[in-house]
Chain A
Amino acid sequence: MTAYIEILMMLLILFDMALLGVSRLRTCITVSSLQGMLLGVFTVFGHTHGITLRILLIAAATFLLKGFVFPRLLRRSIREANAGNELEPYVGYSMSVIAGLVMLGAALWLGARLPLSSAIGIPLVVPAALTTFFTGLFLIIARKNALTQCLGYIILENGIYVIGVAAVVEIPVLVELGILLDASVAVLVMGVAIYHINREFDHIETDRLDTLKG
């Protein structure tokens, strides 16, 4: 089992690097969708307590939401906003991947220091989760396109989700479902916001939203 989980975590990190290095928005969304499905699988196997109905329910909800619903929403926003690529990000793509490697290093260091990793028994889980968390944060900060920022938020949530599954054994199912619901509404609200931005400004480049200052 440990070997499978390690492979899943390696894939998680690879997806993060792909997100940092790819400029085409549609490809980014596909990668995020794969990552979402991976999280669904991880929910089933990442638990130390065996498979229960509760875990299957949450896994299924995650798999569907992050694997299919979010990417669908994002793709629709792309069509509406007619946005293809991120043209000039604040940080270039190769630099982003290098930053990703630095974040991976930081995550490994932090993962070793936080007393979380010992609790699960598999040392790679916490660093992988933190890398995903940092990647999400990086996408929000270093990209100008509102859609990429929204994608960054989803990736950020993914990172926290992995920690939640692995490090926190018993969160009541109602709370977990509430959290998933909130995350999906957040993505929906961002989608609507992007629609409004596009309608008012004819673009979704957030660096050009600069009328409010001071």
Chain B
Amino acid sequence: MQYTEIALWAALAAPLCIGLLCTILPTARIALGVMCGCVLATALAGFFAIGAVYTSGTVFIASSWLFLDPLSAYHYGVLLLVFCLSSAYAWVYFSQELRAGHLDRRQGRLFAGLWCEACAAMTLVLLSNNLGIMWVGIEATTLVTAFLICIQVSRQSVEAMWKYIIICSVGMAFAFMGTLLIAASAKGLDLASHDALLWTVLRENAQRLDPRLIKAAFIFLLVGYGTKAGLAPMHSWLPDAHTQAPSPVSALFSGFLLSTAMYCIMRYMPVIEAATGNAGWAQRLMIGFGLFSLLIAAVFIASQKNLKRFLAYSSIEHIGIIALGLGIGGLGVFAALFHTLNHAVCKTLAFFAAGRLGQLFGTYDLREIQGALHRSPVWGAGLFLAILALIGVAPFSLFMSEFFILKAAIGKELFLVAALLLIGLGTVFICALGYLLPLCWEGAPREKSEPGRFVTGEAFLVYIPLTALLVLGLWMPEPLQSVLQKAAHIISGAAAATSLAGIRP
């Protein structure tokens, strides 16, 4: 067995086993420490494997049931990044909760265990070549993360958890139906049991799949995985779950859980497009769902009173933008993948800051959090800049990826799409600025409070992601560009390669 294969197995097995171990450790603090160590070790193994994929090509393990190709390697890289940042933040956040007595030993251990299991489940989704295993993985993420929402049990968190579990389970049932229909459409291929549902096999033989069944399947898949990704109108679980979950969990949800489901849709797109004669049928659906999510989110953002809810709707907006990019195709796919990374980094940072400010102010109510910059220079600045980046202010990298998507839409002469995109982004921009200014500056704080301390460790959590966003906005390194192009090539096939030639931000 080669080193790369060993690394992949280790990256899958380590969080699975250590997650179980965490639940029996003596104290919450030790469990959190072991969890951080586990995530770091997983990340080392994972990045080693990702490096190998980009230098020497796709790696297959478990007799081709699991694999890492440029598309999954890119997403896996983003996943590891989000997990490393969020784990470090979870340490900071829960240390505070432990000091304040809001978290007991059992809850701390449960959190650490479930966090590692969530990492393992998402890794399984990204590594699956077998579409059945992919479904099993994503259903497992639903079940594991359901308890993460109500680690700290309260009426609201239980309500949010119930909505999450019932809506996402139904969504997953739809996705399962879609997976079965895909398998049924491959009947003409006479595949052996072992090869049925293998993505690589289906991709090669896509032209021979039954197009009627494929279309029915994609509708089920889009509704199913779209529910989990938070595409409107299946998004209703999302704002509640994000608001009620502890902030590290919200960061993980927004940062990568939604993208995991989006990744599943990306996997299916090339198969569906090839099976339906490359007529852009699946792409039109994606444009529709993407635009609808963006506009719905814009409407709800206009009337928010809760900071985390505002960020949750912003996630729906950005998932909509990613779907839109995928739907436009060509440069749009490249931009959508770039946006996945940008949004993951930026939204985790925004939830980090929102969580710590929430702890300081004791509320997430936008009308009561005022003068955040005074109260905590580090997190106040973090929130301010993260939200600026989220609403697409130049020169942050989210501006660049949104600009590429707009350019792709105009390039394909989809002027109505471009106009609606601009309307959505503009609405969010104006409303968010309206919240942001009082949030950071306005008014003297209610009670006389000491100006917050500048904590170096926490400052790293803010400035590392911010610097990354800023640098990526101004200059895209050659390796990243080639990684994105390889990943985009898998989704859109040969058509994208030519249109990507002239991009240089």
- Chain A residues at the B interface, C-beta cutoff of 8 Å: 114-116, 119, 133, 136-137, 140, 146, 149-150, 153, 156-157, 160, 163-164, 167-172, 175-176, 178-179, 181-182, 185-186, 189-190, 192-193, 196-197, 200-201, 206, 209, 211-212, 214
A150 to B133, CA, bound (A): 24
Chain B residue nearest to A198 in the complex (CB)? B158
Would you list which residues of chain B between 172 and 209 have a CB under 8 Å from chain A? 173, 176-177, 180-181, 183-184, 187, 191-194, 196-197
Inter-chain contact B184/A116, CB cutoff 8 Å: yes
Nearest Cβ on chain A to B209's Cβ, whole angstroms:
12
Inter-chain contact A168/B165, CB cutoff 8 Å: no
* 18 pairs from A and B in contact (CB 8 Å cutoff): A115-B212, A150-B166, A170-B191, A171-B197, A172-B193, A172-B196, A178-B136, A182-B139, A185-B140, A190-B165, A190-B166, A192-B147, A193-B161, A196-B153, A200-B155, A201-B158, A212-B239, A214-B306
Answer whether residue B317 sits at the interface, using C-beta atoms and an 8 A cutoff: no
Inter-chain contact A146/B162, CB cutoff 8 Å: yes
Inter-chain contact A149/B166, CB cutoff 8 Å: yes
Inter-chain contact B213/A156, CB cutoff 8 Å: no
Answer whether residue B170 sits at the interface, using C-beta atoms and an 8 A cutoff: yes
Q: Which residues of B contact A156 (CB under 8 A)?
A: 170, 173
Summarize B's interface: helix, strand, loop or mixed.
helix
Answer whether residue B106 sits at the interface, using C-beta atoms and an 8 A cutoff: no
Inter-chain contact A214/B304, CB cutoff 8 Å: yes
Partner of A160, one of B136, B177, B212: B177
Inter-chain contact B166/A179, CB cutoff 8 Å: no
Q: A164-B180, A192-B147, A193-B161 are in contact. List 14 more A-B contacts (CB 8 A).
A: A114-B213, A115-B213, A119-B184, A171-B132, A175-B132, A175-B136, A182-B140, A196-B153, A197-B158, A201-B155, A201-B158, A211-B155, A211-B159, A214-B239
Inter-chain contact B177/A193, CB cutoff 8 Å: no
Inter-chain contact B160/A212, CB cutoff 8 Å: yes
Nearest Cβ on chain B to A109's Cβ, whole angstroms:
14
Nearest Cβ on chain B to A203's Cβ, whole angstroms:
12
Chain B residue nearest to A179 in the complex (CB)? B136
Nearest Cβ on chain B to A156's Cβ, whole angstroms:
5
A142 to B102, CA, bound (A): 38
A137 to B159, CA, bound (A): 20
Inter-chain contact A160/B173, CB cutoff 8 Å: yes
A168 to B180, CA, bound (A): 7
A156 to B170, CA, bound (A): 8
Answer whether residue B340 sits at the interface, using C-beta atoms and an 8 A cutoff: no
Chain B residue nearest to A172 in the complex (CB)? B193
Answer whether residue B309 sits at the interface, using C-beta atoms and an 8 A cutoff: yes
Inter-chain contact A172/B177, CB cutoff 8 Å: no
Answer whether residue B326 sits at the interface, using C-beta atoms and an 8 A cutoff: no
A182 to B163, CA, bound (A): 18
Chain B residue nearest to A54 in the complex (CB)? B193
Q: Which residues of B contact A182 (CB under 8 A)?
A: 136, 139-140, 143
Inter-chain contact A200/B158, CB cutoff 8 Å: yes
Inter-chain contact A193/B162, CB cutoff 8 Å: yes
Q: Which residues of A contact B212 (CB under 8 A)?
A: 114-115
Nearest Cβ on chain B to A77's Cβ, whole angstroms:
13
Q: Which residues of A contact B132 (CB under 8 A)?
A: 171-172, 175-176, 178-179
Nearest Cβ on chain A to B260's Cβ, whole angstroms:
16
A211 to B160, CA, bound (A): 10
Inter-chain contact B165/A171, CB cutoff 8 Å: no
A185 to B156, CA, bound (A): 23
Nearest Cβ on chain A to B109's Cβ, whole angstroms:
17
Q: Which residues of B contact A163 (CB under 8 A)?
A: 177, 180
A140 to B170, CA, bound (A): 9
Partner of A196, one of B140, B142, B161, B243: B161
Chain A residue nearest to B244 in the complex (CB)? A212
Nearest Cβ on chain B to A16's Cβ, whole angstroms:
16
Q: Which residues of A contact B476 (CB under 8 A)?
A: none
Q: Which residues of B contact A196 (CB under 8 A)?
A: 150, 153, 158, 161
Inter-chain contact B184/A193, CB cutoff 8 Å: no
Inter-chain contact A115/B210, CB cutoff 8 Å: yes
Inter-chain contact A153/B177, CB cutoff 8 Å: no
Inter-chain contact A212/B240, CB cutoff 8 Å: yes
Q: Which residues of A contact B210 (CB under 8 A)?
A: 115
Inter-chain contact A168/B183, CB cutoff 8 Å: yes
Inter-chain contact A186/B197, CB cutoff 8 Å: no
Q: Which residues of B contact A149 (CB under 8 A)?
A: 166
Partner of B169, one of A133, A186, A206: A186
Inter-chain contact B169/A214, CB cutoff 8 Å: no
A164 to B184, CA, bound (A): 9
Q: Which residues of A contact B129 (CB under 8 A)?
A: none
Inter-chain contact A185/B177, CB cutoff 8 Å: no
Would you list which residues of chain B between 287 and 336 have a CB under 8 Å from chain A? 300, 303-306, 309
Q: A116-B184, A116-B213, A178-B136 are in contact. Are A214 and B309 (CB under 8 A)?
A: yes
A149 to B165, CA, bound (A): 11
- Across chains A and B, which 6 residue pairs bring their CB atoms closest together, nearest first? A175-B132, A170-B193, A178-B136, A209-B159, A182-B139, A212-B240
Inter-chain contact B161/A200, CB cutoff 8 Å: no
A200 to B303, CA, bound (A): 29
Inter-chain contact B197/A193, CB cutoff 8 Å: no
Would you list which residues of chain B between 99 and 158 have a CB under 8 Å from chain A? 130, 132-133, 135-136, 139-140, 142-143, 146-147, 150, 153-156, 158
Nearest Cβ on chain B to A159's Cβ, whole angstroms:
8
Inter-chain contact A193/B146, CB cutoff 8 Å: yes
